[in-house]
Structure 1
Amino acid sequence: MSESRPSSATRFVVGVSGSPGSLTAMSRAADEARRRGAELWPVLAWEPPGGDPAARRFPAAAVMVEEWDRLARERLLKALCDVFGSTDTGLPGHALVVRGAPGPALVRTAGREGDVLVVGAGGRGRLRRALWPSVSRYCLARAACPVLAVPPSPLQTALAAVRRRNALRLPLDMERLQREFESVPPGA
């Protein structure tokens, strides 16, 4: 029988943007990593406004690349603080800032054997889906590893409904809202 080498440690690579959906996904990825004794790799992908071709065309954009990278690092640190209370996740792994479109960057980062890619899913209306490509759909279609698409929390869904009613200046049913918020499980 041939001797097999141990595979690398399981990594939960999670896409982070700072959005409520990505924070929910990072929390779920941390829970799964903790449960399985795996590493947590939060990844924030960014690209210059207009993409890399625009940044190469304009000399002023080249100067701004360092600033955009700094802002991306700050956004990742803030997301870590929002979920964990500090920049320490309490798990092995590394937080990464990657330059590139989010979908391809996440698929490239989660390229090792044993990786699990975690992305936020849902919570997008028809207009947003038509105008902006879905990172979760890209990852589900192209990743070579398992992908865990985390739906928005029930609290996030209820909050979105309240915002829509406020934007349309419709009255709020406070008793119904109270029941909905009481039915949300702790930590959701």
Structure 2
Amino acid sequence: MPGTGAAPTDTARVVVGVSGTLGSLTALRRAAEEARCRGAELWPVLAWEPPGGDLVSRHGPGTTVMVDTWQDLARQRMLTALTDVFGQAGPGLAMRALVARGAPGSALVEIADRESDVLVVGAGRRSLWHRACSRSVSRYCLSHAGCPVLAVPPSPLEAELAAAHRRNVLGLGLDTGCLEHEVFRLAQGRSDS
């Protein structure tokens, strides 16, 4: 893929899509585990497009000036994601992080272009609203990749955070009933011993 800076190697690779979302961080952690098990290099890929897409950016005034800024923001987002998952010590295995300009699905499929590669993607949100309103990178990869694709389900924490966010948006308070029940259950367990 032009502009990725990816040099071909014969080493086994685990390519993973990274966007900075909680789901992509879960996929990145799982991809690192997969790379360790396979003795492979970890290739985190953050694909980015200009706001409005490439077609809009070609015709918009001043967008060519902004390309370097958008590229730098993508690099920073990649570094933040890597630090969030691996800390300052890094993943503890060979890694080649890439920032690629293009649609995420097609960029990932183009980079994971060998049959021996494994492509890891987050399965994303499963609500009807999100499926109807947004393109699914994982579905694109599953239908277009020439290598095995591992779709990592969302972290259970992601569902809990989404539920808490919905309650906040709707102005509903925190449901403390389950907390009270758990405290009572723990207190009963201690008094029985």
Q: Where in structure 2 are the equivalents of 1:88-127 lying within 5 Å?
A: 88-127=90-129
**1: CA distance, partners of 2:79 / 2:89:** 6
Q: Between the two proteins, what is the percent identity of the paired residues?
A: 63
RMSD: 2.0
Q: Is the 1:107–1:142 contact (alpha carbons within 8 Å) kept by the matching residues of 2?
A: yes
Contact 1:80 1:87 in 2 (8 A): no
Corresponding position of 2:131? 129
Contact conserved, 1:8 with 1:114, CA < 8 A, in 2?
Answer: no
Q: Report the AA paired with residue 48 of structure 1.
A: P
Structure 1: 4+ residue segments shifted above 6 A: none
Deviation at 1:87, TM superposition (A): 7.3
Matched with 2:79 is: 77
Which segment is superposed worse, 120-129 or 35-44?
Answer: 120-129
CA distance in 1, matches of 2:90, 2:117: 21
| Aligned mate of 2:55, from 53, 71, 78 | 53
Match of 2:146 in 1: 144
Mapped to 2, the partners of 1:155 and 1:70 lie a distance apart of: 30
Contact 1:25 1:120 in 2 (8 A): yes
Q: Provide the C-alpha distance between the structure 2 equivalents of 1:170 and 1:67, rounded to a whole number of angstroms.
A: 40
CA distance in 2, matches of 1:153, 1:177: 21
CA-CA distance at 1:175 after TM superposition? 4.8
In the other structure, the counterpart of 2:191 is none
Q: Please give the TM-score of this superposition, normalised by the length of structure 1.
A: 0.85
SS in 2 for 1:122: coil
Shift of 1:71: 0.4
Q: Is the 8 A contact 2:45 2:97 kept in 1?
A: yes
Q: How many pairs are equivalent?
A: 174
Asked which structure has the greater CA Rg, the reply is: 2
How far apart are residue 177 of structure 1 and its match?
5.8
Question: 1:119-155, CA deviations, whole angstroms, 9 ceiling, x for partnerless residues?
Answer: 0013243222222101011101111100000011111
Unpaired segments ≥5 residues, structure 2: 1-8, 183-193
TM-score, normalised to structure 2, is 0.83
Could you tell me which amino acid in structure 1 is paired with residue 148 of structure 2?
Answer: P
For the residue of structure 1 that corresponds to 2:62, the secondary structure is helix
